[in-house]
């Protein structure tokens, strides 16, 4: 047994040694495939490993984070939660601002200003003791990105302009303010290393954050938020892991009214008063209060511009039960002070003018008229100033002239008697109307009461506890998110470079495998007589298969092992290229080479299995041949098929091409999907190859005729070696296809960016502000207030609301789990027919813009309960892993997930990175959000110089809001550059495939010519001139080359036809023609060289040996 096994193994080894040159070529093909496959896997693993490491550095030991969606809470909540959870919970204050280096020029950079206690730094790793900050010395740490951006070093001073957080919604009448930022001058204590938490951030992307770490007390004090925080960071716990449920329970138990920003206090007349530090009692709080006492009485106090002619007063809308006299909706009770001032008495008409925020955010003055029902003393409890909530900038000021109301106040109208009233009665209302009437005038989405009065059934704090018990922290925007788990998941499920490389390297891998398979097949074919003899000697097919299979396996293993090692080097090179030449694709990601044995082994195993599979196919084909046929050594007679099979092949080809075309049309409709792309390309390639194969099947030659010329001889040879011909065409055309198809997808900026149907939507500028703009910038009054009244005619704005989230643009490699959401008025874009759409789920009559689908009102096309959304096709495909027609879960303000249907996909637009919903939908998702932070600026017909001037004006006038102004074209270019970098990377991979294709084709040509040296020698011996032999052979190979180019390009065109029909101008014909020329010339030279080589040497000697 052993001896027999030994003989079998020895035989295999002897065969390998004997045919070493042939097997070396086979191994080289397998090596190529293994190198590309393992390289792709290791590249993907490296990118993923880098992203995961970056995510780990970003989160440190922080397991969960809570960022209040609006408002601030006492930092003491952290200590209470920590004690309950038995882990460190660190409070922090996260604000935004701008930073500049003191004494240096240069534009300020938008930064994240993080007020942190020293315990924050212990949440991260790093050697030595954790760093500390000194509030007294006003020190700050900066991240390396900030240090680089500002060119500041330890010891340098930096100046921050920090967003002044307001408790009141910026958009509300009372929340409007001119003081949007406050300055902070700090000394840079050092550049915080990444492992110490410099990369900390809540967004699941790999963008390097521009972080400035400030002592928490200092920032809170400077921001007027002493003792407050808006961020809680829960450290992981040794032993039992923290769970979301445990955190939610702890939060529910530990939250107190003050944590919610609610005040519960003893009111008048055995009532307990509930107030909200957002001024208006939030609807969920009011609902909870009414749950405690369904007869709770509301009170709504409002600042009015004119009251019966008296300037700037407070008026109150009072629950009927609290009214001293019943009031109809058009009746009012005035104080004796107002009655005296305006000479009013019962039955007098009183006008009441007040500011109101219109739907378009414009501040509008409205007026209502009332009839005086009664006149009561100003000291009457109904006018009690203590029942007026705090209006920041008003109620805390000593005199009227110091008011900072945010809304326009004409101080010239304020009389001495008004100042006297203010000094004596403070914010006491001068008039009272019924609650229902008041709510009709002043209620808004933030609430409809400024106070609620509950019937007292005990001590006030019992009521407070009962109210808190009824509140759901998540409903008020307090919920912990699993920061570390989400970061790891986003990094782990981000852009799949493994798949990307393997997918794009697929053709190159396939080319390598094909080459290996062909060479192996040829090597086996050369040993047909040996197979025949073994079979004749009684060795079964299985034994013969095993015998040669063993040789193939050893060859494949050797090739794949060498290839896998080479793949590691290839991955190293790709990482280097990603960091340098292709750096655009990884944004600011810090990518390094990570070796993974798992991926290495997977690459080796997969390539080995693939190689074995293709070798096995070749062996099966040979061993199935009749023994007599094998002994004759002739090619397989079965390959000379009957005519009927020729037509079957042709029909299959035509069908496959048709299928590819339909598939291509299909994916154009839904948006580009790599799966469709590859399926369509594979089908068209296969179809064309079937057609070629069918055409090459031999038909009966003419019985008589002239001796064949060079071309006829060439054609006959191609037909005879149909397998080799088709393999040659396949190997070459794969590379040609990939390069041509990818090259044709290269983006170009729109020739005329002012066109509405381009990626800029025809807009000139893109503006982003750090502080929300509450005004409607199209309103002349608002423009006048903001100093924009001198804007040139024709300039208009499309304002957008933005909810920060993960960047879903190509600048982010991670999967965007909670993408940024943008709210826009669909009518503003639909009326302009702005932007081109790659796909739309619904059709609209008359070619109306798909933006209309966002208006999902009653009778809308999106199913009830779902939001309608639009996103850029690139973001959808690559960052969200979705397509038009798919759904996404959007987390609303209270942390609940809401389903949104993507009704359309934008084509290559500057809206990358965001999920767009209608403004109405946005406010339903985030009711407490306030103001606009993003604007599209329309300036049709402006020259480039005019646009630049407009940008400069906007930058200057909107500086109080921290505005960044960028040309729409430049923004689009930034995205396109990333996409083009990807394409360049793919072109390099495609080029590699093409090189393998051309190289492989060269090997095939050489091998073919070597095996036919006897035939060539014979032709020479019978007197055919060397020139004719050369031409004949050259013609033969050129036909293959031309067929390969034609098949590759045709397959590309099939895949690109719909795009070419839709936008013929977008296809870069010049690139295609250049690529074609390079491939044709390269192939020509290579073939010529091979043929010339084959004609050299001792041909007569060859003939003698034959």
Partner 1 sequence: MLLSLTDVKKTYLTPGYGERREVLKGITFDLEERGTLAVTGPSGSGKSTLLHLIGLLDSADAGEIKFKDKTVAAMGEAERDRFRNREIGFVFQLHYLLPQHTLLDNVLLPALPGARRGDWPEIEKRARRLLERTGLKGFERALPGELSGGERQRAALARALVNSPSLLLADEPTGSLDRDTALSVAGLLRELNREENTALVVVTHSDELARGLDRVRRLENGLLKPLGPR
CB of 17 to partner 1, least distance (A): 7
CB of 1039 to partner 1, least distance (A): 20
Contact 871, 905 (CB under 8 A): yes
Enumerate the β-bridge partners of residue 939. Answer: 795
Q: Residue 78: left (phi > 0), alpha (psi -120 to 50), or beta?
A: alpha
Cβ nearer to partner 1, comparing 548 with 575: 548
Cβ nearer to partner 1, comparing 270 with 1106: 1106
Nearest-angstrom CA–CA distance, 774 and 936: 16
CB of 528 to partner 1, least distance (A): 11
Contact 1067, 744 (CB under 8 A): yes
The DSSP call for residue 236 is: P
Nearest-angstrom CA–CA distance, 306 and 329: 19
**E-strand spans in 788-913?**
795-803, 820-824, 837-840, 867-872, 887-891, 897-906
Residues 6+ apart with CB under 8 A from 51: 206, 491, 492, 494, 589, 813, 814
CB of 636 to partner 1, least distance (A): 10
CB of 15 to partner 1, least distance (A): 5
Nearest-angstrom CA–CA distance, 795 and 580: 41
Burial of 155 (C-beta count, 10 Å sphere; 0-12/13-18/19+): exposed
CB of 626 to partner 1, least distance (A): 6
CA-angle at 738, arms to 1037 and 1052, nearest 5°:
85
CB of 552 to partner 1, least distance (A): 15
Sign for the pseudo-dihedral over CA of 145, 150, 155, 159 = negative
CB of 517 to partner 1, least distance (A): 22
Cβ nearer to partner 1, comparing 536 with 655: 536
Cβ nearer to partner 1, comparing 484 with 722: 722
Cβ nearer to partner 1, comparing 627 with 1010: 627
Report, in this order, helix, strand and coil percent for the chain, each rounded to 5.
50, 20, 30
Please state, in angstroms and as integers, the Cα–Cα distance from residue 638 to each residue in 614, 687, 718, 780, following that order: 20, 22, 17, 85
For 388-444, where are the alpha helices, taking DSSP H only?
A: 416-425, 435-442
CB of 623 to partner 1, least distance (A): 12
CB of 1047 to partner 1, least distance (A): 25
The DSSP call for residue 806 is: B
Virtual torsion, Cα 257, 261, 262, 268, nearest 10 deg: 120
Shortest CA distance to 1078 belongs to which of 994, 996, 1002?
Answer: 994
Cβ nearer to partner 1, comparing 538 with 1023: 538
Please report where in the chains the tokens 């394409």 appear, as a residue.
983
Nearest-angstrom CA–CA distance, 878 and 868: 20
Contact 556, 30 (CB under 8 A): yes
CB of 523 to partner 1, least distance (A): 12
- Residue 499 phi, psi dihedral angles, 5° rounding: -65, -40
Cβ nearer to partner 1, comparing 15 with 912: 15
Nearest-angstrom CA–CA distance, 75 and 60: 21
What H or E segment, with its residue span, contains residue 815?
Answer: none
What is the token pair recorded at 395? 């109620």
- Residue 99 phi, psi dihedral angles, 5° rounding: -130, 145
Helices and strands, number each (H, E), in the chain: 33, 30
Cβ nearer to partner 1, comparing 6 with 268: 6
Nearest-angstrom CA–CA distance, 294 and 297: 9
CB of 518 to partner 1, least distance (A): 22
Nearest-angstrom CA–CA distance, 344 and 352: 14
What is the token pair recorded at 168? 């009141």
The DSSP call for residue 634 is: P
Cβ nearer to partner 1, comparing 15 with 450: 15
CB of 649 to partner 1, least distance (A): 15
Shortest CA distance to 789 belongs to which of 941, 942, 957?
Answer: 957
Cβ nearer to partner 1, comparing 637 with 1065: 637
Q: How many CA atoms lie within 13 A of 443 on its CB side?
A: 16
Enumerate the β-bridge partners of residue 298. Answer: 452
What H or E segment, with its residue span, contains residue 755?
Answer: none
Which positions lie near partner 1, rule CB under 8 A?
1, 3-4, 7-8, 10-11, 14-15, 17-19, 529-530, 532-541, 543, 626-628, 631, 637, 640, 642-643, 698, 700
Cβ nearer to partner 1, comparing 14 with 253: 14
Cβ nearer to partner 1, comparing 1 with 793: 1
Contact 830, 848 (CB under 8 A): yes
Cβ nearer to partner 1, comparing 696 with 836: 696
CB of 16 to partner 1, least distance (A): 8
Cβ nearer to partner 1, comparing 321 with 644: 644
Cβ nearer to partner 1, comparing 459 with 639: 639
Cβ nearer to partner 1, comparing 14 with 243: 14
CB of 638 to partner 1, least distance (A): 9
């Amino acid at each position: 047994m052993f001896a027999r096994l030994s003989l079998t193994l020895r035989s295999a080894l002897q065969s390998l040694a004997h045919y070493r040159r042939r097997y070396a070529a086979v191994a080289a093909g397998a090596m190529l495939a293994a190198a590309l496959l393992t390289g792709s896997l290791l590249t993907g693993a490296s990118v993923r490993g880098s992203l995961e490491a970056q995510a780990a550095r970003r989160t440190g030991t922080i397991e969960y984070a809570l960022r209040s969606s609006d408002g601030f809470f006492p930092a003491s909540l952290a200590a209470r939660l920590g004690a309950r959870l038995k882990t460190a919970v660190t409070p922090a204050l996260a604000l935004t601002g701008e930073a500049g280096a003191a004494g240096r020029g240069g534009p300020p950079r938008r930064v994240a200003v993080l007020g942190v206690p020293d315990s924050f730094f212990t949440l991260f790793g790093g050697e030595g003791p954790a760093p500390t900050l000194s509030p007294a010395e006003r020190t700050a740490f900066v991240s390396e990105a900030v240090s680089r951006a500002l060119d500041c070093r330890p010891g340098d001073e930096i100046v921050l302009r920090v967003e002044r957080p307001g408790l009141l919604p910026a958009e509300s009448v009372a929340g409007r303010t001119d003081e949007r930022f406050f300055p902070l001058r700090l000394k840079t204590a050092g550049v915080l290393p990444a492992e110490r938490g410099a990369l900390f951030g809540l967004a699941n992307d790999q963008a390097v954050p521009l972080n400035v770490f400030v002592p928490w007390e200092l920032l809170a004090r400077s921001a007027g938020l002493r003792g407050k925080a808006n961020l809680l960071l829960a450290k992981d716990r040794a032993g039992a892991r923290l769970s979301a449920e445990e955190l939610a329970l702890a939060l529910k138990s530990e939250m107190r009214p003050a944590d919610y920003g609610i005040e519960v206090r003893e009111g008048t007349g055995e009532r307990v008063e509930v107030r909200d530090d957002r001024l208006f009692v939030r609807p969920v709080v009011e609902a909870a209060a009414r749950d405690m006492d369904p007869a709770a009485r509301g009170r709504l106090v409002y600042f009015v511009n004119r009251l019966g002619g008296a300037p700037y007063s407070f008026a109150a809308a009072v629950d009927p039960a609290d009214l001293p006299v019943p009031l109809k909706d058009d009746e009012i009770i005035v104080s004796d002070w107002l009655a005296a001032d305006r000479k009013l008495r019962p039955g007098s008409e009183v006008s009441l003018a007040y500011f109101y925020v219109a739907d378009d955010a414009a501040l509008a003055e409205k007026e209502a008229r009332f009839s005086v029902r009664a006149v009561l003393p100003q000291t009457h409890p109904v006018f009690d100033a203590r029942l007026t909530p705090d209006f920041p900038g008003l109620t805390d000021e000593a005199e009227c002239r110091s008011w900072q109301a945010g809304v326009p106040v004409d101080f010239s109208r304020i009389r001495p008697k008004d100042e006297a009233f203010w000094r004596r009665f403070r914010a006491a209302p001068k008039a009272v109307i019924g609650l229902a009437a008041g709510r009709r005038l002043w209620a808004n989405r933030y609430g409809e009461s400024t106070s609620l009065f509950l019937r007292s059934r005990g001590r006030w704090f019992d009521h407070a506890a009962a109210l808190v018990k009824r509140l759901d922290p998540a409903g008020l925007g307090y919920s912990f998110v699993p920061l570390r788990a989400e970061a790891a998941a986003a990094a782990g499920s981000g852009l799949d470079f493994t798949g990307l490389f393997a997918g794009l390297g697929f053709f190159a891998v396939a080319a390598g495998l094909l080459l290996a398979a062909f060479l192996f097949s040829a090597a086996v074919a050369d040993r047909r007589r040996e197979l025949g003899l073994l079979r004749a000697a009684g060795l079964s097919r299985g034994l013969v298969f095993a015998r040669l299979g063993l040789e193939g396996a050893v060859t494949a293993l050797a090739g794949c092992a060498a290839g896998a090692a080479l793949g590691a080097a290839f991955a190293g090179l790709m990482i280097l290229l990603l960091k340098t030449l292709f750096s655009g694709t990884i944004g600011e990601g810090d990518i390094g080479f990570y070796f993974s044995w798992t991926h290495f082994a997977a690459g080796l195993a997969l390539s080995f299995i693939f190689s074995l599979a293709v070798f096995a196919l070749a062996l099966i084909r040979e061993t199935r041949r009749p023994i007599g046929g094998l002994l004759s050594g002739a090619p397989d007679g079965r390959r000379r098929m009957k005519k009927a099979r020729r037509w079957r092949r042709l029909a299959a080809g035509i069908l496959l091409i048709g299928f590819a075309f339909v598939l291509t049309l299909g994916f154009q409709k839904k948006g580009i999907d790599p799966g469709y792309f590859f399926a369509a390309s594979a089908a068209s390639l296969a179809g064309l190859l079937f057609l070629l194969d069918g055409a090459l099947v031999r038909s009966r030659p003419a019985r008589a005729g002239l001796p064949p010329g060079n071309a006829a001889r060439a054609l006959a040879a191609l037909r005879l070696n149909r397998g080799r011909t088709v393999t040659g065409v396949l190997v070459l055309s794969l590379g040609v296809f990939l390069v041509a198809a990818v090259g044709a997808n290269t983006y170009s900026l729109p020739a005329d960016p002012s066109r509405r149907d381009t990626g800029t939507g025809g807009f000139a500028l893109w503006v982003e502000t750090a502080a929300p703009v509450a005004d409607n910038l199209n309103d002349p009054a608002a423009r006048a207030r903001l100093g924009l009244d001198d804007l040139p005619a024709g300039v208009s704005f499309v304002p957008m609301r933005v909810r920060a989230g993960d960047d879903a643009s190509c600048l982010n490699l991670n999967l965007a789990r909670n993408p940024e959401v943008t709210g826009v008025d669909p009518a503003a874009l639909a009326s302009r027919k702005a932007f081109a759409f790659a796909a739309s789920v619904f059709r609209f009559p008359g070619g109306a813009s798909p933006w209309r689908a966002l208006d999902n009102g009653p009778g809308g096309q999106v199913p009830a309960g779902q939001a309608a959304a639009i996103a850029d096709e690139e973001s959808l495909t690559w960052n969200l892993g979705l397509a038009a027609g798919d759904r996404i879960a959007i987390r609303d303000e209270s942390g609940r997930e809401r389903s949104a249907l993507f009704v359309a996909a934008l084509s290559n637009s500057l809206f990358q990175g965001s999920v767009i919903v209608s403004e109405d939908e946005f406010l339903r998702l985030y009711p407490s959000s306030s103001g606009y932070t993003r604007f599209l600026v329309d300036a049709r017909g402006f020259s480039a110089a005019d646009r630049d001037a407009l940008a400069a004006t906007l930058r200057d006038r909107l500086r109080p809001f921290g505005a960044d102004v960028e040309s729409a074209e430049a923004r689009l270019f930034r995205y396109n550059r990333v996409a083009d970098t990807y394409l360049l990377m793919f072109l390099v991979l495609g080029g590699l495939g093409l090189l393998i294709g051309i190289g492989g084709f060269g090997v095939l040509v050489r091998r073919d010519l070597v095996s036919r040296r006897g035939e060539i020698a014979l032709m020479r011996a019978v007197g055919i001139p060397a020139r004719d032999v050369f031409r004949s052979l050259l013609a033969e190979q050129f036909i293959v080359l031309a067929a390969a180019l034609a098949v590759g390009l045709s397959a590309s065109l099939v895949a690109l036809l719909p795009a070419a029909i839709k936008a013929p101008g977008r296809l870069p014909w010049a690139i295609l023609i250049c690529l074609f020329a390079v491939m044709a010339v390269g192939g020509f030279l290579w073939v010529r060289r091979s043929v010339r080589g084959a004609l050299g040497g001792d041909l007569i000697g060859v003939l003698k040996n034959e």
